Amino acid sequence: MSFETVTLRIDEGVATLTLNRPDRMNALSVQLKSELAAALDGLEKDPSLRALVVTGAGDKAFCAGADIKERSTTDPAPAQFISDQRATYALFSRIEGLACPVIAAINGVAFGGGLEIALCCDFRLAVESAKLGLTEVNLGVMPAGGGTQRLSRLVGAARAKQLIMTGRILDAASALRLGIIDDVIPTAEFQTRVRAFAADLAAKAPLALRFVKKVIDRGAQTDLAAALDQELYAASILFASEDRKEGMKAFVEKRKPVFRGR
């Protein structure tokens, strides 16, 4: 399937999903969100997928957020707005819920909904020139794609209130200090290091990564005892897997394991 506003490339188990509206700073139009959903349909069904990189086209923006020009022409009633935003919640949550590791390669501006997409990813790697912020208050609105909740879980409620209520724009170094992103990479090295990180993840046992992701994400929403039960149950399933046997056999034989996700 071909798209106009997103591109999808898969190479040796690593998919790269690019938001492709560089003339509009990769802003989230209705068409882009529809095509993003269609691209996720294929990724969710692909058994060969080992890691996903989400990025933006061009060198200026990861995603500048909602397409304000498009939004300014609409005036939905509250019920319609709620319905539309529930669809956006579901779309962003699909990124968060993918079984494989998901990397946000923040190659420029990540504002509003763009940062909300990045917050759905497991890892956030940013180019040194990146700018990030939930800036919706400057337009008289508020984050409505999960940003209030995901950011507060990441940096704490007080810090999230400060950032969202002021609409503050962070440079990459400040976002790193706050723990919003995981690494800042020089421009000349950005693409190479993102690919290397994704390839390293793709080489790991996919079942192990899947269960680690699920246990950490779900465990963060429950008490310690219940979370430890989830960890133990997941570990027991992995210990019975072919990948566990292959990994340990390869270790003993001093060779690189060949994991098959079984």
Q: Is 116 a catalytic residue?
A: yes
Catalytic-labelled residue, pool 35, 70, 116, 253: 116
Dihedrals phi, psi of 118, to nearest 5 degrees: -60, -35
Please pick, among 44, 96, 136, 253, the residue that the annotation labels catalytic.
136
Integer angstrom CA distances of residue 166 from 27, 98, 136, 137, 261: 22, 32, 10, 7, 45
- Find the farthest-apart pair of alpha carbons in the chain and give their distance in angstroms, rounded: 65
Which residue intervals of the chain are DSSP H helices?
30-44, 68-71, 78-97, 113-119, 147-155, 157-166, 172-178, 190-202, 206-219, 224-239, 242-252
> Taking Cα atoms as reference points, which of 54, 73, 65 lies closest to residue 28?
65
Between CA 231 and CA 131 the distance in angstroms is 36
User: Does the annotation mark 4 as catalytic?
Assistant: no
Q: Name the DSSP class of 122.
A: S
Three-class SS state of 105: strand
Residues that are catalytic: 116, 136
